[in-house]
Amino acid sequence: MAILVAGGAGYIGSHMVKDLVEHGQEVVVADNLSTGHRDAINPKAKFYEGDIRDRKFLDKIFDNEDIEAVVHFAAFSIVPESMSKPLKYFDNNTGGMITLLEAMRDHNIKYIVFSSTAATYGVPEHMPIKETDPQNPINPYGLSKLMMEKMMHWADKAYGIKFVALRYFNVAGAAPDGTIGEDHGPETHLVPIILQVAQGKRKELSIFGDDYNTPDGTNVRDYVHVMDLADAHILAIKYLEAGNESNAFNLGSSTGFSNKQMLEAAREVTGEPIPAKIAPRRPGDPDSLVAASDKARNVLGWDPKYDDVHDIIATAWKWHSTHPKGYDDRD
């Protein structure tokens, strides 16, 4: 039996595919390559190019392949873009989930592991954030993902499709062997942007706001390594296969780092000066987002290996410094 990874050519999806393949798992990838890269897909995975909103495309995969579970990464994930193009997010993210769940129902596929996000919590009432805390997103990206969680809840009740929603905090890093990494066009995420400045591809880092309610005034986020995240998905599949109930887990490190601290850590890792300036706030950013992640550790047995942001940044730096043009540099 195979695992279907929807969005397996994207940043997190491609690391998931690599992790599954290295665990000896048969993997099928579905991706429309709108933001993903063909070269990011592990060669041992079987690739179907197409869109999860296309029911015929999904039917073809479920008819041809013996799929046991779906891991769903096929979504847009850029908070500021979602503020200016909300309907794009509801169409692809929320709309895509409707088609995917309908196809799963009709093909009797019972398990889905879903990329949810800390952005579903909005402005948290206390820190660290627990899974039971209120979910009131303040941007369309977070809302699109919360709606997807709720759809899975009702699809479980009606059709018995069991789900695990993994609420990611800030994902960073790359496969330690340097073969795959993060390559978004345009890049918006903090760690790759800092490293692009270190490489001389950008003049300076703009830190978006230093008047937040945090110790140094810059936003605080909780960084988790992409391979640790992939491991959590494998544990979530096992959890569902063992017959457990649907559930949601935070994936973070329980430790927050400010944007200024991340910059300092990257200076230490790269040895580069990395010029930076303070710029206006970016719409949609809560002050702090830090996960309580003991539930994933206790229930799934998740044991993240990267507990130091320097190590996370070092794996990202390995990828960026050997692939200055991202996947365009391959071969």
Catalytic site positions:
141
Question: Any contact of residue 195 with ligand UDP (CB under 6 A)?
Answer: no
Question: Any contact of residue 206 with ligand UDP (CB under 6 A)?
Answer: yes
CB count in 10 Å sphere of residue 154: 11
Tell me which of 18, 221, 225, 318 binds ligand UDP, using CB under 6 A: 221
Question: Any contact of residue 193 with ligand UDP (CB under 6 A)?
Answer: yes
Compute the distance between CA of residue 326 and CA of residue 163 in angstroms, rounded to an integer.
Answer: 33
Residue the block writes with tokens 């230490």: 268
Which is closer to ligand UDP, CB of 48 or CB of 208?
208
CB 204 within 8 A of CB 146: no
Question: Any contact of residue 103 with ligand UDP (CB under 6 A)?
Answer: no
| Site track for ligand UDP across 123-162, x = CB under 6 A | ----------------------------------------
Residue 23 tokens read as 């665990």
What distances in angstroms separate CA 330 from CA 35, 195, 208, one per listed residue?
Answer: 17, 19, 32
- Kindly identify the residues of this chain, within the stretch 272-311, that bind ligand UDP according to CB under 6 A: 282, 285
In whole angstroms, the minimum distance from the beta carbon of 327 to ligand UDP comes to 20
Contacts of 38 (CB under 8 A, 6+ apart): 9, 47
Strands 220-221 and 288-289, bridge-based pairing: parallel
Question: Any contact of residue 184 with ligand UDP (CB under 6 A)?
Answer: no
Which is closer to ligand UDP, CB of 48 or CB of 89?
89
5 three-state secondary structure: strand
Residues that bind ligand UDP (CB under 6 A): 79, 170, 188-190, 193, 205-208, 219, 221, 259, 282, 285
